[in-house]
């Protein structure tokens, strides 16, 4: 299980997230359905009932002294001293029908705000943790009106850092170039051996690539986020399968800079707007189409 940040547009951001998760509406309430277990779950035998309750309905067994969490658990099963099921609390509607989680939501849950918005001087935003109530935030916030966010300052901060990164790389390579990784990948497309190993070894064997990899390890990332944050701009020490990102330094400076923007600070990967989950949203187009009064909320989700 991992986590990432999404941007939700609108005052009803919690309702939009709940709808994407398929969260139960207000008509569903907790009820002890032990007496109706056979009708609802198809059995009252312990093992198959537990399996169906957990996998289909998200109902958790209370083991190892675990206590129920109303509002967070979709239901729970309690056992007596002999290990027999003595209570099954489940979410049911007025007609007695069980609530069932959405089969494949785009994420599993959401929790806290990601305080990645730099606010304008004197502006106020909000922050929250563990789905709790929002608190007032100044300086940096997880939720704020577009008009209160210093978007231009954020973008320029990133572009300045990206420019420094490109300049540092250019100082190493000068006007020299190397063969990009994708050329080797295509060259070995019919190889009987491990295609990736052949391609990456050939790419890394180039003297200039070796020099760039070494220089990149020495380059000091530039802090770009909140003062208490560890958000930095820079490729930094790369995982072996990611060092081909160095090929980006072959791009002209302006083309290199065009790939970076506010997302490097706000760190959102997806956008939720009007209840729709969007991918590959053009950043400039997105912010240009938003109204100044739109509420923009950065939220951590798990998947």
Nearest alpha-carbon partner for 90 in 166, 39, 156: 39
> Tokens for 196?
């990736």
* Residue range(s) defining the domain that contains residue 44: 24-92
Q: How far apart are CA 267 and CA 5, in angstroms?
A: 6
Residues 6+ apart with CB under 8 A from 204: 210, 213, 243
Task: Report how far Cα 104 is from the mean position of its chain's Cα atoms.
Answer: 16
Environment class of 72 (CB within 10 Å of its CB; exposed 0-12, middle 13-18, buried 19+): exposed
- At 237 the pLDDT is 41
Q: Are residues 281 and 189 in the same domain?
A: no
Q: How many CB atoms lie within 10 A of CB 29?
A: 12
Residues 196-223 as b/e (b if ≥16 CB within 10 A, e otherwise) read: eebbbebbeeeeebeebeebbeebeeee
Q: How far apart are CA 78 and CA 38, in angstroms?
A: 17
Mean pLDDT of the chain: 85
Task: Report how far Cα 113 is from the mean position of its chain's Cα atoms.
Answer: 11
**Which H helix or E strand runs over 88?**
strand 85-92
Does residue 7 sit within a domain? yes
Q: Are residues 82 and 227 in the same domain?
A: no
Contact indicator for 13, 295 with CB cutoff of 8 Å: yes
Does residue 180 sit within a domain? yes
Q: Which residues, in sequence order, are bridge partners of residue 4?
A: 301
Q: Are residues 139 and 281 in the same domain?
A: yes
Q: Are residues 167 and 214 in the same domain?
A: yes
Total of domains in the chain = 3
- At 227 the pLDDT is 64
Q: Are residues 83 and 189 in the same domain?
A: no
Does residue 236 sit within a domain? yes
Contact indicator for 272, 21 with CB cutoff of 8 Å: no
- At 302 the pLDDT is 86
Does residue 277 sit within a domain? yes
- At 98 the pLDDT is 87
Q: Are residues 47 and 68 in the same domain?
A: yes
Q: Are residues 185 and 120 in the same domain?
A: no
Q: Are residues 111 and 9 in the same domain?
A: yes
- At 87 the pLDDT is 93
Does residue 100 sit within a domain? no
Q: How far apart are CA 150 and CA 136, in angstroms?
A: 17
Contact indicator for 108, 302 with CB cutoff of 8 Å: yes
Low-confidence ranges of the chain (pLDDT < 50): 235-240
Q: Are residues 185 and 255 in the same domain?
A: yes
Q: Are residues 215 and 291 in the same domain?
A: no
Q: Are residues 254 and 128 in the same domain?
A: no
Contact indicator for 224, 265 with CB cutoff of 8 Å: yes
């Amino acid at each position: 299980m991992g986590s990432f940040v999404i941007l939700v547009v609108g005052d009803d951001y919690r309702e939009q997230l709940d709808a994407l998760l398929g969260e139960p509406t207000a008509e569903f309430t907790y009820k002890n359905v032990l007496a109706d277990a056979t009708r609802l779950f198809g059995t009252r035998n312990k093992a198959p009932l537990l399996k169906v309750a957990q996998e289909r309905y998200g109902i958790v067994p209370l083991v190892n002294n675990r206590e129920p969490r109303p509002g967070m658990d979709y239901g729970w099963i309690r056992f007596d001293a002999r290990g027999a099921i003595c209570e099954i609390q489940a979410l049911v509607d007025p007609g007695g029908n069980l609530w069932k989680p959405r089969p494949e939501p785009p994420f599993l849950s959401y929790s806290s705000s990601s305080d990645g918005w730099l606010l304008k001087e004197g502006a106020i935003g909000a922050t929250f943790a563990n789905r709790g109530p929002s608190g007032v935030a100044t300086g940096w916030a997880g939720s704020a009106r577009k008009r209160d966010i210093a978007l231009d300052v954020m973008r320029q901060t990133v572009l300045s850092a990206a420019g420094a990164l490109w300049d540092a790389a250019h100082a190493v390579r000068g006007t020299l170039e190397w063969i990009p990784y994708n050329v080797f990948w295509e060259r070995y497309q019919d190889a009987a051996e491990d295609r990736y190993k052949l391609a990456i070894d050939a790419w890394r064997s180039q003297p200039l690539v070796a020099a760039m990899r070494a220089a990149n390890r020495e380059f000091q990332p530039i802090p770009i986020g909140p003062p208490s944050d560890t958000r930095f701009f820079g490729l930094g020490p790369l995982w072996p399968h990611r060092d081909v990102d160095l090929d980006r330094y072959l791009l002209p400076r302006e083309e290199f800079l065009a790939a970076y923007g506010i997302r490097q600070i706000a760190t959102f990967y997806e956008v939720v707007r009007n209840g729709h989950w969007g991918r590959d949203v053009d950043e400039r187009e997105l912010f240009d189409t938003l109204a100044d009064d739109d509420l923009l909320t950065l939220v951590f989700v798990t998947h």
